[in-house]
Structure 1
Amino acid sequence: MNTPPRKRKKSTSAPFSNPKSLNSDIAPSENPASAIIDVSAVEVPELTEQEQSDRLHLERKVERAFFEAGKALAELRDRRLYRSTHRTFEEYCRDRFGHSRRQSYLLIDAAVVFDNLAEKCDPLDHILPNNERQVRPLTKLEPQQQQEVWQKAIEEAGGKVPSARIVTDVVQRIMERTQVPNSYQVGEVCQILAKDNPDLRGKGGCWCIVTHVGEFSCVVRLWDGECTVGVQHLKSFNYLPDECQQVREMCDRISRVYSSELEESVQRFLESLGKLKRAYLTALEGKVLSLIEKDTELMMEINCKKTRQP
């Protein structure tokens, strides 16, 4: 009698079904989670004396980049090296460097401040500004104040190059301490004192007429528009009422004819009238201004006729 083949019993458990038993067979040093990997330290070679010198030289070039740019822009402006391609320095900077008018002059003013600070700071410490924003708050101060503020800002920064925020805070505290009440009156004629203030660039020495009196500043009218000026940047001419009226009439006349489309020589003449230190025009100045007024009126009439034509 043939014996039926025995059925193989099916295993009910899969290999390694018990992870604890698996882990128990692995020595602690073989456990991936607790394995210790020995990594040999990579030795970084020390800088040679020449490399240290090169590093310091390059770092200083980076830090002085804004200073070099400001010095270069000042020379381009002062020597009028843009005149072969552009009518004004502002147009040249916009086309050549993509600068706004304000940006170029901020760099120029920052370079002046940097020079002043370099005279005061110990060259061995080398704690000088490394970007234009750190210098910007100092441009409104006198040279001696700039040096004092910078030294104070270094102290507050723990002996390091201070941030623009720290410099601004120190400047603000000084300005609040030195501000004086506003004693000017509406209609008074004053002279603008720029004092290295970039916001007043080109307006230094100009006469202006006070149109609004604030706590520490005035809104003033010049021959080419209005602006707000701090009392520290104003000096009264102490004109009599009749003289103030003459300046207001002169301002009205210049404002009506001044335009950026005028010939450069005419522009310069009108701008020179905006810096007179007297309340009247000479006979020759009056005749030239009258000729410009007549020419402007004639051009306006011609333009009106052209627009009316079909």
Structure 2
Amino acid sequence: MYHQSIKIIISLLITVNLFATENVPPEAKPPIIFSKAEIINASTTRIPFKVIDQLIIVEVELLDQEGNFIIDTGSETLILNSVHFKPTRKHRDDGKSKSGVHNTIENVKEKHLDELSIKDLSLEQLNADVIDLSHIEKTKKIELLGIIGYSVLKDFEVFIDLHLNQITLTKTDKQGNRLSDKVYAETINDSIDFKLKQHTIVIDAYVADKKVKFGLDTAAEYNQLNKNLDSEILDYFYPSKELKLTGASGKKAKVLAGKLYRVKLNDSIYFGPMKTVLTDLKHMKSAFGVQLDGVLGFEFFAQKRTIINYKKRKLYFIKYPVIKP
């Protein structure tokens, strides 16, 4: 939720284990591997994840290192932790500041890799930044190699399933159609359209009967609500305590935390109370060209098994199974 960045066009290589092609000799070890990925078919892979402090974490091997990456739809690029990866060459905008969602991220450098490949699925000219993420490692007590963002995810349909703790990536064509029909065992029961502002997923929603505009971010540990909203909307936010949150630059800010009630996307898609923090989101417009009333994060995905299709600009929902006593 805190790690957005301005584009730096580079190449990188990500591949799932056992994804050999005729052009790659068997002994050639690809630079990055989703360590525990399961191959479903030629265009689909399923990746298990763990949840650490409401962050979705996948295990990855990259440049002879193995460790944790955060899945973050709120990040524009692939981000590498400068603690573990050093820039390979000087660049003309080496060390310049980047605009973040919550603050300015300073001292961002470029890392040069070759290409991204998940199995035989190849994506070229992705974006990556090298940023010091040591403060996240310290606060979450994990070793963090980096963050996987929009530039990696955009050419896939992405099923984020917090019921089974797994992400399914399936390749799509230019129109967003899946290349395979045999992807999901579950049935899609609802959907909504969204807008894509730069890399940010923007959805229309309601708090009670008041219309609001929310961003969707898998790495937002708590939902965020703009403290400058109409009081009739803020009436449904029930504060309970104060929290200290740390941004991508390592700066800390105090926010009021509580629960937000009466959120719905339409008359058939609604939510129970969600953990939410009250904060100032005025920087959103300058950073992304859109003014958001709030951000929906982990709490959203905890209640909705969600499929993101970037090319169709649609979210699809799969019901949680009914647990019988």
For the criterion TM > 0.5, the same-fold answer is no
Rg larger in structure: 1
Instruction: Using structure 2 for the length normalisation, give the TM-score.
Output: 0.23
Q: Which has the higher strand share?
A: 2
TM-score, scaled relative to structure 1: 0.24
Q: Which structure: greater helix fraction?
A: 1
